[in-house]
């Protein structure tokens, strides 16, 4: 399968608007690795977004002989629906609020402030649990490849990219197995390139629909994969 470029967006045209194209996240990572072959052996850093993006990122890093690390970011969810987010918080405290959604859901300032505070605490706990005392890596003079298992709205990814940019990165690539066309285009405006194997359009979109086998990845699994990649845990 050959990747074809459209401006800064690279996709696999034969996978456009298809569902069930990946067996699982490991298979998706293998497909992404073929699209990112130019980075093999380079001084690029792969950042997996916990938890679901880490199994994808681990395969990419292994196949391309790159270092794997984590980009901790979390959406700010509605009080009555933990699947829907109206903003996001990154590991460095960067916050973005979806003002249109806040207005649509008629969220008060107090609710938004409480949501931000809770999400900051969640991100801090996850950062400390997954990274321990390891500082965020130096990204100032190397390409950074940010990987998640898919892009639905792209809002959370956008906050993560902003945080990596704040950390000094000047060359950021986003790579995801699947994504909604609108989200891919929005993210592409903030980075040097987006690699998305399976781009889909339409009103209804679910990341899980690109996978035959889908499950919620635990933080423990994400931590184990990172330790294996670093050689600190036996395979």
Mean pLDDT of the chain: 89
Q: Where are the domains of the chain?
A: 4-71+139-230, 75-130
Q: What is the pLDDT of residues 169-221, one digit of tens each?
A: 999 999 999 999 999 999 999 999 999 999 999 888 899 999 999 988 888 88
CA 186-189-192 angle, 5° bins: 130
Confidence tier at 233 by pLDDT (50, 70, 90): very low
How does DSSP classify residue 211? B
CATH number for the region 4-71+139-230 comes to 3.40.50.2020
What's the pTM value of the predicted model, to 2 decimals?
A: 0.89
Q: In what order do the strands lie in the sheet with 73-78?
A: 73-78, 81-90, 95-97
Kindly state the percentage of the chain with pLDDT values over 90. 63
């Amino acid at each position: 399968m050959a990747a074809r470029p459209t401006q800064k967006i690279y996709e696999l045209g034969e996978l456009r608007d298809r569902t069930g194209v990946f067996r699982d996240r490991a298979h998706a990572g293998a497909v992404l690795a073929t699209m990112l072959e130019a980075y093999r052996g380079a001084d690029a850093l792969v950042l997996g977004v916990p938890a679901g993006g880490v199994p994808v990122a681990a395969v990419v890093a292994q196949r391309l002989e790159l270092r794997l690390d984590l980009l901790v970011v979390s959406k700010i969810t509605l009080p009555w629906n933990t699947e829907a987010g109206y903003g996001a918080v990154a590991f460095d405290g960067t916050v973005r609020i979806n003002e249109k959604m806040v207005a649509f859901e008629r969220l008060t300032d107090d609710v938004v402030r409480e949501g931000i505070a809770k999400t900051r605490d969640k991100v801090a706990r996850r950062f400390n649990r997954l990274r321990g005392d390891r500082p965020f890596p130096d990204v100032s003079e190397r390409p950074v490849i940010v990987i998640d298992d898919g892009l639905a709205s792209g809002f959370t990814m956008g906050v993560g990219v902003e945080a990596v940019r704040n950390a000094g990165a000047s060359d950021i690539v986003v790579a995801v197995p699947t994504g909604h066309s609108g989200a891919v285009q929005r993210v592409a405006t903030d980075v040097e390139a987006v690699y998305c194997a399976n781009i889909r359009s339409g009103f209804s979109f679910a990341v899980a629909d690109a996978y035959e086998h889908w499950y919620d990845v635990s933080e423990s699994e994400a931590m184990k994969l990172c330790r294996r990649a670093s050689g600190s845990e036996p395979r």
